[in-house]
Amino acid sequence: MTAAPAGTPPLLAVESVDVTLGRGWRANQVLSGVDLDVWPGEIVGLVGETGSGKTTLARTVVGLVNPKRGRILIEGLPISALRRGARRAERRRGHVQLVFQDPLRSLDPDLTVAEIVAEGLTIRGQTDRDEIRRRVTGALEQVGLDATVLERTPGQISGGQRQRVSIARALAVEPRLLICDEPVSALDASTRNYVLRLLDQLRTSLGLAIVIISHDLSSLAGIADRVVVLYRGRIIEDGPVDRVFTTPRHPYTALLMASAPSIRQHGVRNDRPFSPRQLRRTDSDPAPPAGPGACVFAARCPFAAGVCAVQPPLTAVGERWSVACHRHEEWAALAQSARLGRTDPCPLSSSG
Amino acid sequence: MPDFGEVLRLDDLHVSVHHGAAAAVRGVSLQVRPGEIVGLVGESGSGKTLTCRATLGVLPPGCAVESGSVSFGGVDVTSLSRRGWERLHGSQMGAVFQDPASYLNPVIAVGPQLTEVVRVKLGLGRRAAHRRAHELFEAVGLRQPERVFHQIPAELSGGMLQRVMIAIAISCDPQLLVADEPTTALDVTIQAEVLELLRRLRDERGLAVLFVSHDLAVITQLCDRIAVFYAGEIVESGPVEQITQRPRHPYTQALLRVASVGDFRRRELEVIAGQPPQVGEDITGCRFAARCPVAMPECKAGPVRSVPVGERHEARCVLAARAMVAS
């Protein structure tokens, strides 16, 4: 796994966590052997497709879902082992806060902004009204909102303002870790950039650790330090964002990047190493190994071979960079050479 | 001048919302030629979706076409009766939307939902309709058409459902496909596949596509021409290369600066200062002037016309107009 920066312990440690949702015949293993460390002042991007377990991982970290196996430690405290009163007390401390995708649905429409932001403080036992008022305006100031929004309800402010209110609500209780579940996917491009910039400033000014779940790779590239790629409940790649995004070591990460829409502009190099077509299975590819123990990506992987009948472990391939692929050293060359002939008959401009 | 090379032509279209209380689309003119993919892009509330709904004759309650015209194949369809629209839908124009599951019957297999359309619209028999469904499912890239035929929507993934919707939309060989944010809810890898599919359908069938998205990056990858919407107006329209390489309207320039850039490098994320006007807000002069970095007093003096700035390239900007006069 990734090596710790000298001396400091991770703020969040997820240790070989398995999560199963549902019981009996409905039981569905959503996360398998997930290991993840997040340090203070770090922004980690969590990417993956629908159903890959991103949201379940977020819910497990805040204690809304119990892992079947493994531990969650926050500042060294194993919160996944806490039960009942101790769990509630830990949650009230508010060291970990969630920010949801759709503020219109996650904020109470009947409460004013002031009440929404104050709620966490009251739950934590803060009773001094002046102190609450001071903290609420302070939190709103941190996200660039002034007192004019205090008495409005979520329905009376714009989408970008609403998402900033959700962040202010989380900040009011002075968290150490912020987990944002698709915080910008409902926003227009300009507002999206504003919110991402805000998160970037907050991690510097408050030393927050931030986990951002997103499917928008290029906006993550703008602010994240590390990127973690989930596929069907397993981490398949985890590494520094600039390294992973320039030379992805897992074919799925490469496919995600090749598929991400982008604009051809003057002065910006936009040539991706691969086109999506070079990274997709075709009917002429040999049948991938199947079975319960096989690599989770094998069924979609054009490079799957006999070795892929066994799920590969996360293996270090660089400093704080690991990948779960048996063929991580070979596939890129295969994609470049043998499959060069398979070009797109009507290429999208992505490879241009 | 009527040009019979156009599938769709919008002329000075005005659409009101809130039962006529507010103008949401203010004089939109647009042409779509056969085999052309035209993209409408803009922020939420910019009028792009209402424009495409007016094109389909399916405006939400409380919304109405106030003036202007929608011509389809050279015929004005603005005041068409319900029966008239029914004849057009499916056979002349197809449509796909953001959430395919909500447009399909959840308890009926998707195959019969397609055969129903071709049996009613094209008068095909049971066997012929089944064959047609099989062909269409193959054409939209569904791997096991026979299996999909008997599956209900809940058994299919979002990407497969969107392919089924596209198959239904093109089942009667329409001239125009209207696609309103069809890939927004899909994963990026699936989105790329659906965009490739739309392109292939255009190439193979000469299908014209009107594609709406808030994501400029998606639009520039798919479309031949782009119309940029701002606060109910088209502020710039033109070929995709012109719009991305030589944008003439400051709003288009701003949109390009804030859009996703493909090199995945860390860079300062830019924002467009200010907020768009409220829907229906009346503003003298340019509607973008309040947020424009290069606005001048004359921008706010009177209505700003859209002027040609190149081959099939227009911009609604005082500066662009001045530059054209100077050259």
pLDDT in tens, B35-82: 999 999 999 889 999 999 999 999 999 999 999 999 998 889 988 898
Same domain, A79 and A210: yes
How many whole angstroms separate alpha carbon A15 and alpha carbon A4?
14
Residue A210 lies in a domain: yes
Same domain, A213 and A192: yes
**Which residues in chain B are closer than 8 Å to A262, comparing Cβ atoms?**
217, 221, 260-263
Q: How far is B327 from chain A (nearest CA, A)?
A: 23
Which of A43, A52, A188 is best to mutate for the B interface (most B CBs within 10 A)? A188
Average confidence (pLDDT) over A279-293 = 87
Task: Name the pLDDT band for A229 (thresholds 50, 70, 90).
Answer: very high
Beta-carbon contacts of B25 under 8 Å, excluding residues fewer than 6 positions away, are: B13, B14, B15, B47, B50, B51, B54, B232
Same domain, A139 and A254: no
Same domain, A249 and A333: yes
Q: By residue range, what is the domain housing residue A319?
A: 245-341
Complex prediction ipTM: 0.86
Same domain, A297 and A183: no
**A263 and B199: CB-CB below 8 Å?**
no
Given a contact cutoff of 8 angstroms between Cβ atoms, the answer to whether B37 and B222 are in contact is: yes
Of the two residues A338 and A149, the one the predictor is more confident about is: A149
Given a contact cutoff of 8 angstroms between Cβ atoms, the answer to whether B191 and B183 are in contact is: yes
**A245 and B218: CB-CB below 8 Å?**
no
Specify the number of domains making up chain A.
Answer: 2
How many whole angstroms separate alpha carbon B150 and alpha carbon B148?
5
Q: Is residue A3 predicted with pLDDT exceeding 50?
A: no
**Which residues in chain A are closer than 8 Å to B200, comparing Cβ atoms?**
345-346
Q: Is residue B1 predicted with pLDDT exceeding 50?
A: no
Residue A4 lies in a domain: no
Among residues A241, A266, A289, the one where a domain terminates is A241
**A188 and B269: CB-CB below 8 Å?**
no
Same domain, A154 and A181: yes
Among residues A206, A241, A276, the one where a domain terminates is A241
Same domain, A315 and A227: no
Same domain, A250 and A236: no
**A218 and B158: CB-CB below 8 Å?**
no
Same domain, A270 and A174: no
Which of B188, B197, B281 is best to mutate for the A interface (most A CBs within 10 A)? B188
Q: Where are the alpha helices (DSSP H) in A95-188?
A: 103-106, 113-123, 129-142, 159-171
Beta-carbon contacts of B111 under 8 Å, excluding residues fewer than 6 positions away, are: B130, B133, B137, B148, B149, B150
CATH code for the domain in which residue A160 is found: 3.40.50.300
What is the share, in percent, of chain B residues with pLDDT greater than 90?
80
Among residues A211, A241, A271, the one where a domain terminates is A241
Same domain, A175 and A280: no
Residue A52 lies in a domain: yes
Residue A350 lies in a domain: no
Average confidence (pLDDT) over B164-182 = 95
Q: How far is CA A313 from the centre of its chain?
A: 20
How many whole angstroms separate alpha carbon B100 and alpha carbon A12?
39
**B262 and A246: CB-CB below 8 Å?**
no
Given a contact cutoff of 8 angstroms between Cβ atoms, the answer to whether A63 and A79 are in contact is: yes
Same domain, A59 and A151: yes
Helix, coil or strand: residue A123: helix
Predicted pLDDT of residue A271: 61
Residue A347 lies in a domain: no
**A49 and B255: CB-CB below 8 Å?**
no
Q: Is residue A70 predicted with pLDDT exceeding 70?
A: yes
Residue A151 lies in a domain: yes
Same domain, A297 and A198: no
Mean pLDDT of chain A: 87
What pTM, to 2 d.p., does this model score?
0.89
Which of A261, A266, A276 lies at the smallest CB-CB distance from B260? A261
Q: Is B291 on the interface with A (CB under 8 A)?
A: no
**B189 and A264: CB-CB below 8 Å?**
no
Average confidence (pLDDT) over A3-19 = 81
